[in-house]
Structure 1
Amino acid sequence: MRTPCINVCSIDQAIGLCVGCGRTLQEIGDWITLSDDERNRLMLILPTRLPAQQTFAGGSRQGNLNAEQTA
Protein backbone atom coordinates (compact mmCIF):
# COMPACT_ATOMS: atom_id res chain seq x y z
CA MET A 1 0.00 0.00 0.00
CA ARG A 2 1.37 3.41 -0.94
CA THR A 3 1.93 5.74 1.97
CA PRO A 4 3.27 9.27 2.36
CA CYS A 5 4.80 8.32 5.73
CA ILE A 6 8.55 8.89 5.98
CA ASN A 7 8.78 7.85 9.66
CA VAL A 8 9.07 11.45 10.89
CA CYS A 9 5.88 11.29 12.91
CA SER A 10 5.31 14.51 14.81
CA ILE A 11 2.19 16.67 14.74
CA ASP A 12 2.82 20.41 14.52
CA GLN A 13 0.27 21.67 17.03
CA ALA A 14 0.12 25.10 15.36
CA ILE A 15 -1.12 23.72 12.04
CA GLY A 16 -2.42 20.28 13.03
CA LEU A 17 -0.35 18.41 10.45
CA CYS A 18 2.35 15.78 10.66
CA VAL A 19 5.66 17.50 9.85
CA GLY A 20 6.76 14.39 7.95
CA CYS A 21 3.84 13.59 5.67
CA GLY A 22 1.45 16.53 5.97
CA ARG A 23 -1.54 14.48 7.09
CA THR A 24 -3.87 15.30 9.96
CA LEU A 25 -4.26 12.87 12.85
CA GLN A 26 -7.67 11.91 11.45
CA GLU A 27 -6.18 11.16 8.01
CA ILE A 28 -3.38 9.11 9.56
CA GLY A 29 -5.90 7.10 11.59
CA ASP A 30 -8.22 6.61 8.63
CA TRP A 31 -5.47 5.71 6.12
CA ILE A 32 -5.89 1.94 6.34
CA THR A 33 -9.65 2.14 5.76
CA LEU A 34 -9.57 4.62 2.86
CA SER A 35 -10.21 3.33 -0.64
CA ASP A 36 -7.38 3.44 -3.18
CA ASP A 37 -9.08 6.40 -4.86
CA GLU A 38 -9.35 8.29 -1.56
CA ARG A 39 -5.69 7.64 -0.74
CA ASN A 40 -4.62 8.70 -4.23
CA ARG A 41 -6.60 11.96 -3.98
CA LEU A 42 -5.02 12.72 -0.64
CA MET A 43 -1.54 11.89 -1.95
CA LEU A 44 -2.05 14.49 -4.68
CA ILE A 45 -2.78 17.32 -2.25
CA LEU A 46 -0.23 16.48 0.46
CA PRO A 47 2.71 18.18 -1.30
CA THR A 48 0.84 21.50 -1.15
CA ARG A 49 0.43 21.35 2.63
CA LEU A 50 4.05 21.68 3.74
CA PRO A 51 6.86 23.81 2.30
CA ALA A 52 8.32 22.09 -0.76
CA GLN A 53 11.91 22.62 0.41
CA GLN A 54 11.29 21.01 3.80
CA THR A 55 13.66 18.10 4.33
CA PHE A 56 14.69 15.96 7.27
CA ALA A 57 17.79 14.04 8.30
CA GLY A 58 16.22 10.85 6.98
CA GLY A 59 15.53 12.32 3.54
CA SER A 60 12.88 14.40 1.89
CA ARG A 61 9.11 14.26 2.28
CA GLN A 62 9.02 12.28 -0.96
CA GLY A 63 10.12 9.30 1.15
CA ASN A 64 8.02 6.24 0.36
CA LEU A 65 6.36 7.94 -2.58
CA ASN A 66 9.49 7.50 -4.70
CA ALA A 67 10.20 4.06 -3.28
CA GLU A 68 6.74 2.85 -4.25
CA GLN A 69 6.98 4.27 -7.76
CA THR A 70 10.25 2.46 -8.45
CA ALA A 71 9.28 -0.83 -6.79
Structure 2
Amino acid sequence: MADDVWNRDEVESPCVRVCVVHPEARICTGCLRSIDEITRWSKMSTEERRAIMTALPDRADLLRKRRGGRAARLARGG
Protein backbone atom coordinates (compact mmCIF):
# COMPACT_ATOMS: atom_id res chain seq x y z
CA MET A 1 0.00 0.00 0.00
CA ALA A 2 1.46 3.39 -1.00
CA ASP A 3 0.32 5.10 2.21
CA ASP A 4 2.58 2.81 4.26
CA VAL A 5 5.59 4.83 3.11
CA TRP A 6 4.26 7.91 4.90
CA ASN A 7 3.20 6.08 8.04
CA ARG A 8 6.57 4.80 9.21
CA ASP A 9 7.27 4.32 12.89
CA GLU A 10 10.43 6.47 13.02
CA VAL A 11 11.61 8.97 15.56
CA GLU A 12 11.46 12.40 13.93
CA SER A 13 14.52 14.62 13.96
CA PRO A 14 14.47 17.34 16.63
CA CYS A 15 16.03 19.78 14.15
CA VAL A 16 14.41 23.22 14.21
CA ARG A 17 16.71 24.70 11.51
CA VAL A 18 18.64 26.85 13.97
CA CYS A 19 22.03 25.25 13.39
CA VAL A 20 24.49 27.04 15.65
CA VAL A 21 26.96 25.10 17.79
CA HIS A 22 27.47 26.57 21.24
CA PRO A 23 31.25 27.15 21.63
CA GLU A 24 31.48 25.83 25.20
CA ALA A 25 28.70 23.23 25.43
CA ARG A 26 29.52 21.88 21.93
CA ILE A 27 25.86 21.21 21.17
CA CYS A 28 23.49 22.76 18.64
CA THR A 29 21.58 25.62 20.22
CA GLY A 30 18.52 24.71 18.15
CA CYS A 31 18.08 20.96 18.65
CA LEU A 32 20.54 20.38 21.54
CA ARG A 33 22.26 17.47 19.78
CA SER A 34 26.01 17.05 19.49
CA ILE A 35 27.67 17.26 16.07
CA ASP A 36 28.20 13.49 16.19
CA GLU A 37 24.53 12.87 16.94
CA ILE A 38 23.45 15.16 14.12
CA THR A 39 25.84 13.45 11.69
CA ARG A 40 24.80 9.91 12.63
CA TRP A 41 21.04 10.57 13.07
CA SER A 42 19.92 9.02 9.76
CA LYS A 43 21.89 5.84 10.47
CA MET A 44 20.82 5.43 14.12
CA SER A 45 18.42 2.80 15.33
CA THR A 46 15.04 3.78 16.71
CA GLU A 47 16.30 2.96 20.21
CA GLU A 48 19.33 5.26 19.84
CA ARG A 49 17.15 8.10 18.58
CA ARG A 50 14.66 7.67 21.43
CA ALA A 51 17.48 7.71 23.99
CA ILE A 52 18.79 10.99 22.57
CA MET A 53 15.30 12.51 22.44
CA THR A 54 14.85 11.60 26.12
CA ALA A 55 18.17 13.26 27.03
CA LEU A 56 17.59 16.51 25.11
CA PRO A 57 15.47 18.41 27.69
CA ASP A 58 18.22 18.06 30.31
CA ARG A 59 20.78 19.55 27.91
CA ALA A 60 18.99 22.90 27.75
CA ASP A 61 20.55 23.77 31.11
CA LEU A 62 23.98 23.62 29.47
CA LEU A 63 23.03 26.66 27.41
CA ARG A 64 21.49 28.61 30.28
CA LYS A 65 24.50 28.61 32.60
CA ARG A 66 25.59 32.08 33.47
CA ARG A 67 29.03 33.14 32.47
CA GLY A 68 29.48 35.36 35.50
CA GLY A 69 27.99 38.62 34.27
CA ARG A 70 29.32 41.81 35.83
CA ALA A 71 31.22 39.99 38.59
CA ALA A 72 33.19 37.97 36.01
CA ARG A 73 34.03 41.09 34.00
CA LEU A 74 35.29 42.88 37.11
CA ALA A 75 37.39 39.85 38.09
CA ARG A 76 38.97 39.87 34.63
CA GLY A 77 39.59 43.58 34.83
CA GLY A 78 36.98 44.40 32.19
Tell me the TM-score normalised to structure 1 length: 0.68
Report 1 or 2 for greater relative contact order, CA contacts < 8 Å, sequence distance ≥ 6: 1
Superposition CA RMSD, Å? 1.4
Q: Which one has the bigger helix percentage? A: 2
State how many pairs are aligned: 52
Which of these residues, 3, 10, 14, is aligned with residue 24 of structure 2?
14
Runs of 4+ with deviation above 3 angstroms: none
Identity across the alignment (%): 35
Tell me the TM-score normalised to structure 2 length: 0.62
Q: Which one has the bigger strand percentage? A: 1
User: Larger C-alpha radius of gyration, 1 or 2?
Assistant: 2
Unaligned runs of 5+ in 1: 55-71
| Letter aligned with residue 59 of structure 2 | R
Which of these residues, 48, 52, 59, is aligned with residue 42 of structure 1?
52
